[in-house]
Structure 1
Amino acid sequence: MTKFAYVGCRTSEWRGARGKGITVFRMNDEGHWEQIQCVPSIQDNPSWLTLDTKRNRLYALHGDGNQVAIFNRDPETGLLSLSAEQTTGPLNGHPDLETARRNNPVGAALTPDMNTLLVANHEAGNVAALPVNDTGLDKPCHFSRIEGHAVKDGAFQTLSRPHEIVFLPGSTLFAVPIQGRKAGNGIDMIRLYRWVESKAQLCDEVHLADGSWPRHVDFHPSGKWLYGISELSSTVTAFDVDSARGSLTLKQTISTLPQGYASRSDASEVEVHPNGRFLYAANRGHDSIAIFRIDPCDGSLSPAGWVPCGGKTPRFTTLSPDGRQFYSANEDSDTIQVFDVNADTGMLTRTETTLPTASPTCICFA
């Protein structure tokens, strides 16, 4: 079966980006990637991609903007064609926010029935629900606003910034990491929601250290644990998950950096291996992938080692669906580095495959 990879990127001058649009690759069984298309960006920064396998569509969020583009995907050729665009919601008028980035959709996920696209609007401080229709997406029908710290009467309403949406496999529960940035007087936390009757129902939230900036999360395949990575503190936090009650319990926080490393580094991405035995965390600055062993009894983490990412600034990383390869999208070196995964140890071995692609920020496979 022919496989395809879709790579999002940043394109804007404000971001210092070099990308031109969504890049489409054809992949063969030997791991060779052949670029077959570059879809010019209609708006800046097609930076987050979500694949709709039910309808053969690709949804692309325009980072720093307020739009999502809908592409039809030819399942035989893998090629994309623009179908429509839709707003992810109104701009936020909060005076503390940067004028050019008052919505900024940064992460999305389809609900389990694949009938709604949920979008994390970072600067707008909400999760928006966009119903899927025959030709694309309807305007948002529901917003889950994420409040910041309480303020005195008369002050402008506060907000916290959601950064990703990840569903527990086989469940209507989903986790949202939230960054408590100073502008808007936000709260650093992880929230757990349940998708019920076309609305996001808040189940639980756990506050993390101020200034840590929770960024991405991933569930363990067993569903018993959740792992979150925090950007500025460069830490991974492990939680117990009670899926029946919809609750989280914080159990461990561990650094993503080697002991003694003191230079600036911002953590970016976290993944659990499909076999449930290993966790990977990316470091921008240290420019490495941290590898952790997962205790099969309680889900706690222990360091197994660090591997150079093969470039500069690993903004996004992911595993192949079978867990045999690992990919690091190195934004500032304009490359995707491919690694082989040792299924017994979890360690990564850099391959000879280094793919040139400008300012990569996201990879998804079909």
Structure 2
Amino acid sequence: MTESFILGTYTRSTSKGLYKAIFNPESGQFEKITAIAPLTNPTYVTQISDTRLVSVAQIGDQGGLVVLDEQADGSYKVVSQLGYTGHVPCFVSYDQERGYLLTANYHDGIFSVLSLSENGQLSLLNEAVHQGNGPHKNQDGPHVHYASINPHTTDNYVFVCDLGTDEVITYAIEDDSYDLKKVSTYNPKAGSGPRHLIFHSSLPIAYLLCELSSTVDVLRYHKDGSFERTQTVNLLPDDFTGESSGAAIRLDKSNRHLYASNRGHDSIVIFDTGKDGLSLKKIQTIHTEGKTPRDFNFDQSEQYILSGHQNETYLSLFSRDMESGLLTLLDHSIPVPECVCVLPLV
């Protein structure tokens, strides 16, 4: 049985917007890759249901969201769109329980909460405009890069990473008023630039990828929405002297292996998480054979990892040993340009 990936891209060069790739895990081959929506800079996308997607995009002179529904013939139709910020958001996620869309806007330093109706209409409910900066040259102001829930708990919290202010802010959303209340703030080492956060599925642990320091912070997660750092690991080899930054972070379903990508060193790093989930040990660094692997993801079986490249015209495919977690490069010629989001459909 085949699987599908949705691929978000920049449209600065040859990309035609959003792509859909049909993958056969038995053969390890892609059977079909098609452009499904001619959007401008659809750089991040989330799945709402079996037939509905929401993508960030440029909408006129604003940034915003586009709702797309799959049609009977496999094509996608734009159901609605809403421009509400000065720049295209860099991240979107969906809170299935409450029906909220959560977006992060890097350039404007804004975290936004939107509603999505059953017929696909969007409404802006509230937003938090961040303030501040950091010591790194890329921290001239707030740069919100991630906003999502912990999918493994029922906590009424949203976690927002601000790369520009070195903060991971925990918000509570009031269900009636949609007011945003700051519950807790975690600060990594100054200049780290927190980018993405991922949670352990069975233990109160989170892993924070920091872009500017190319590190991962291992965090204990507390019921009050706060975090406590227990370990920091480096994503780069000790002898690496070039420029590089952290990009994407993924955890397998067993919680045994953590994966993170480097842009500049152009690699994926694999860690064993240890029996307690708190003791990361680097077990492999493998090059993606392409420039700027901004995002990557597992297929449904987790026997493969697909990596996109922001500054290439192709993707790279790896096989994954289910026991050791180690990767082997299979192909680096899968034709999708400027790819910055890899979303496996479930």
Aligned length: 333
In the aligned structure 1, how far is the partner of 2:5 from the partner of 2:133?
41
Q: Tell me if the contact between 2:36 and 2:75 (Cα under 8 Å) persists in the aligned partners.
A: no
Amino acid in structure 1 at the alignment position of 2:24: N
In the aligned structure 2, how far is the partner of 1:359 from the partner of 1:261?
26
Task: Write the mapping of 1:187-266 to structure 2, written as runs, cut at 5 A.
Answer: 187-197=165-175, 198-242=178-222, 244-266=223-245
Amino acid in structure 2 at the alignment position of 1:62: A
- Residue 127 of structure 1, CA deviation: 1.4
| Residue 329 (structure 1) aligned with residue 308 (structure 2) | yes
- Could you tell me the TM-score, scaled by structure 2's length? 0.88
In the aligned structure 1, how far is the partner of 2:172 from the partner of 2:73?
37
Deviation digits for residues 14-56 of structure 1 (CA, Å, limit 9, x no counterpart): xxx33111111223342332335313534x20110111116x2
Equivalence for 1:161: 143
Equivalence for 1:59: 54
Q: Tell me if the contact between 1:179 and 1:188 (Cα under 8 Å) persists in the aligned partners.
A: yes
Amino acid in structure 2 at the alignment position of 1:58: L
Task: Write the mapping of 1:288-307 to structure 2, written as runs, cut at 5 A.
Answer: 288-307=267-286
- Could you tell me the TM-score, scaled by structure 1's length? 0.84
Aligned-pair identity (%): 25
Equivalence for 1:136: 120
Consecutive unaligned residues in structure 1, runs of 5 or more: 92-102, 151-157, 181-186
Query: Which shifted more, 125-134 or 62-71?
Result: 62-71
Q: 1:34 aligns with which of 31, 34, 39?
A: 31
Pair 315,65 (structure 1): closer, same or farther in 2 beyond 3 Å: farther
Deviation digits for residues 151-199 of structure 1 (CA, Å, limit 9, x no counterpart): xxxxxxx96221012321233433222112xxxxxx1111223444145
Equivalence for 1:121: 105
Task: Write the mapping of 1:347-362 to structure 2, written as runs, cut at 5 A.
Answer: 347-352=326-331, 354-362=333-341
Pair 29,78 (structure 1): closer, same or farther in 2 beyond 3 Å: farther
Consecutive unaligned residues in structure 2, runs of 5 or more: 135-139
Q: CA RMSD in A?
A: 2.3
Pair 81,51 (structure 1): closer, same or farther in 2 beyond 3 Å: same
In the aligned structure 2, how far is the partner of 1:200 from the partner of 1:77?
41
Q: Tell me if the contact between 1:65 and 1:105 (Cα under 8 Å) persists in the aligned partners.
A: no
Pair 323,173 (structure 1): closer, same or farther in 2 beyond 3 Å: farther
What is the SS of the residue equivalent to 2:44? strand
Pair 149,307 (structure 1): closer, same or farther in 2 beyond 3 Å: closer
